Every structure is written in structure tokens, then in C-alpha cells.
Amino acid sequence: MTDLRLAIQRFDPSRDPKPRMVEYTVPRRQGMTVLEALLFARDYMDHSIGVRFSCRQASCGSCGMKINGRPRLACYTQVDELGGDSVVAQPMDNYAIIKDLVTDLGSFFQKHAQVTPRLVRSDAREQDNPTKEYLIKPDELSKVLQFTYCIKCGLCTSACPTVATDSKFPGPQALAQAYRYTADVRDQGGAERIESLDSEHGIWRCHFAGSCSYVCPKGVDPALGVQLLKRHVMSGKPPHLAEEASKEYRAPQTQT
């Protein structure tokens, strides 16, 4: 197999005036992931290359970066699937760079926390002294299940054109998680959760570009979550009832 030309964007904000691309030649093997190529370059060519990873199996969400121009997980992207003999690795957009391919996800997790990503209950006594489980039926679970697969890698937010222009916009990940918990029939905190999102920098800033859903490595559709959240706010009903209401809606007949 021919060697792989691996171009890495190098940038240390504490030292460098601007980012630069540095190319490394890496021996290629079948099934090699981009993360493995990066680690080869770091371990055998330049120990100072900054790259973040942990699980190596698309579970922890640490290795998000832009690969050949598209946000991807480095551990989940095989060199072969990219085609050609060269790979370009850059840090994710919409985040500050800590070093090279490592970005600062602080604001991302802050926005995630702001939507209260947990089931909120008002029965404090039951929670303090539980007498039974909080059950959810399979068909009710199916409405939110895909959103539970989010691994918080930040790829969706890096692809979002609205985040790029409005730093106060919560972003697709946080909004999809807001929907995930608000639509859960066991949750009682929807009104409070939605209050701050139904605002100038909230859900209405999403113009449904869909790039978040396009890049999600776990098959989550955050754009759908945002639209369902909008529907919930417009209908004024809990998401499961809003769904029923939308079925009753009839689009006006167009004149021909």
C-alpha cells in the first residue's frame, strides 16, 4: 500500500501567530483509522502534536475534528473510506483551539447543562423515599430514544451555521437534549426548560440547515429535535399531545 500523506493543522495559541499545515508521511495499512494515523505521527514523528482521544470506539466523543473538511470522529473514520492517499486533519469549527486538533468544549457543555438535561420531577417526597419505579412504555420511549444516543462529541455544533454567527444560540446538541427530556412522559420540567429557549437567541434562530444531522456519527437527528421543540412551543401542549394536534392540522388548499 502507498504511504499516507497526512496534513495536520498545527497551532498553539500561546505561541504561534497563526495556524499552519504540516505534512507527515505515515505508513498505511488496511482498516487504519484517521486516529491511528495521527497517533503514528505523534508517537514516531513529532511528540508535540496535540490530539485528544480516549475510547477509540466512537463512544466517548473525545476525538471530534474536521477531516477532509467535514466534522467526523477520528477513531470512527477509516482512511480507506475517504478515498485517495491524503488526509487533512483540522480542529472543529465553532470552538476555540487549545492546541492543534484539541478544541475547548467548555461552552458546549455549559449550554448542555443550561437545558437541565435530566428528568425533573415535582414529587419531592417520592424521590426522597421512592415507593416505585418511574415507568415509560415502549411506544413512548421510541419518541425520544434516538436522542439518548448522543455522545456529546460536539460535531453537530461545529457544523451549525447559526452557532457560527450567534454565540448565544444553544446549538443543536443542547436543543435536541431539551426536546429529549421535555418529550419524556416522566418529565415535569418542560415549561421551565422551554422558557429560556423560546427567546431571541433560542430555538427560532435555527433555520433548519440540517448540517447537524448530516454529521452526527451516531445517527441522531438533532435538527428534527429542534423542529419538534418548536412545534411544542407553538402548540402550547406537551410534545406527545402536540404530535396528536399536528395530525389534526390541515394545510390550506392552494388555488390553482
Residues within the interface to ligand FES (CB under 6 A): 53-56, 58-63, 73, 75
Residue number, 73 or 226, with CB nearest to ligand FES: 73
Distance of closest approach, residue 144 Cβ to ligand FES, in angstroms = 23
Residue number, 170 or 217, with CB nearest to ligand FES: 217
Least Cα distance to 71 among 53, 96, 89 occurs for 89
Distance CA 125, CA 129 (A): 6
Distance of closest approach, residue 168 Cβ to ligand FES, in angstroms = 28
Residue number, 155 or 212, with CB nearest to ligand FES: 155
Residue number, 61 or 190, with CB nearest to ligand FES: 61
Residue number, 5 or 56, with CB nearest to ligand FES: 56
Distance of closest approach, residue 63 Cβ to ligand FES, in angstroms = 3
Distance of closest approach, residue 120 Cβ to ligand FES, in angstroms = 29
Distance of closest approach, residue 145 Cβ to ligand FES, in angstroms = 20
